[in-house]
Structure 1
Amino acid sequence: MNRIEPMFMGGQLLFFSYRAENRDEDWRMYHAHQGCELLYVYEGAGTVTVESHTYPLKPGMLFLFQPYQLHQVEVPARIDGTYIRSNVTFDPLQVEGFLEPFPKLQAFLRKLWKGFLTRQVFDLSTDKRLPELFLEMESTRSQWDMPSKSEERALFLIAILHYLQKHVLQEEDSEPGVTEKTSGHAVQMVDWVESHFKEPFSLNRMAEACHLSPYHVSHLFKRVAGTTITEYLTLLRIREACALLAGTDKLVGDIAREVGQLGTPYFCQLFKKHKGVTPQTYRGMVRKTYER
């Protein structure tokens, strides 16, 4: 199989595929969609490329894909070879509302959704809790696999997010020396960047809004977020550009200006650096399969 496939959630909270199986055939999937996706591998051998980084695919691996990340899965055919995996793709915007009673988990969701992840590939071959959660989801699917059962689906997602927070990404979330006050400043800074990323960036304006010095803002942001403000700003702009390329007919130059008052040549160079393809190519890949 060789295709580019955009996945538009269409108002759905999640899509769940349990132990999908392919035997004795090449498997190649190239995705670009607006949901967060979890891919867990039971059997198979191949590679997964997340934009410009390639990782081995093997049993027990978990891959986390953020919205609009180009990711390619390749599993070559082998004699008696089988590729078995489970996928959960969910709309983080819808899930966020269900997490209002759980502020820490809501902050974790925002990190998966919009944050800078230093790791997106994990070896869970000795931990059976995630496949057990997937089995429970599948065994009770008839009780929640209806449009009116969004709360039941959300409960499964909450359980999965809690597992990821406590057992998969816990090292990243336990930065030593980060106090509650420091964490509060970090949330304030991230909120400011997310509210102003379409404007020309000013460190002094951001520092003034957060009641901190420019040096303190830069130092604290990188310490807590794991990336510089500039890198995070670029991540937001590229993600917004992907959404506009996929969902509108706006010209590339107009999109460059909309996501940060950027010049078209610079925007195209920046986009290709982060996505591996030009904006025009990205749009063509997504539209071609969507129309098909």
Structure 2
Amino acid sequence: MTKRTVRLLSGEQYFNDKLHIYVNRNSESYDLTEHYHDFLELSYVSEGTGTHHTGDECIQVSSGDLFLIPMGTSHVFRPASTAKGNPLIVYNCIVTLDMLNPLISSFPGAHLLQRLLHIPSIFHAQDHSGAAHQLFTSLYREYSIERSEQEAALYALLIQLLILFARMYDGTERNNRIDIPNKMDNLLDLLQMRYAETFTTSQLASAYGVGERQFQRLFVKHTGMSLTQYVQSIRVRAACEKLITTQLKISSIAEAVGYMNTPFFYEIFKKHTGYSPREYRNQQQNR
């Protein structure tokens, strides 16, 4: 039997005197061997498909998969394919317990998050709402661009991420049921996950079980926006991420987020951000 090589990744490789938090966006490969570490790791699969290995266990992963990996537990991600156009993209946020304990203690009501620091094995969940995606991408941007109040912004986002993990962990402990979501929660999750598709008010009202006018009133009550405004905001946010993290043509990004008419996409994007897509990309790249 071939002996598995498992090596230690030390926090000294990633942390500095100022920050005991490290965030990256990694295209997984076969270069990294199975490893364990002396820090807590929070991971989010953003794009692609592959596998996650820990010991003798191997599970399939795809966009939306979340992992909390405790100290001392070995694991590694592997892409489904090494083809250039099919990467497995994983966001990783790693933190030391020496930093986390006082951070959690300093937030009123956050003491219950301490249980996440002592879970015995890897915790796996799925991001159905898009909340984890937003938090991980925000963490990555804050970490990558040094600016004023960076440390405070990073730790505030980290607390939000830990709260999200804690709620998911609590739900798993209660037989995979967090709080039974109402129909509007389900519809909002649907819109977050499938923002490039077109859903009419009539379709959503029918799924909700009410008339169109009542649905429109309820939607505004839950979101503060009309259906059109809500979908536009999700699409523009997705376009912003693609403009920053890819070199895709703007017309391709417009199509990817649901706009076949590129000039109309330009109009919507500028309305929401104050910049054209090209101006936004250039501004972010020059920061």
Q: TM-score, normalised by structure 2?
A: 0.49
Q: Point out which structure has higher relative CO (alpha carbons under 8 A, 6+ apart).
A: 1
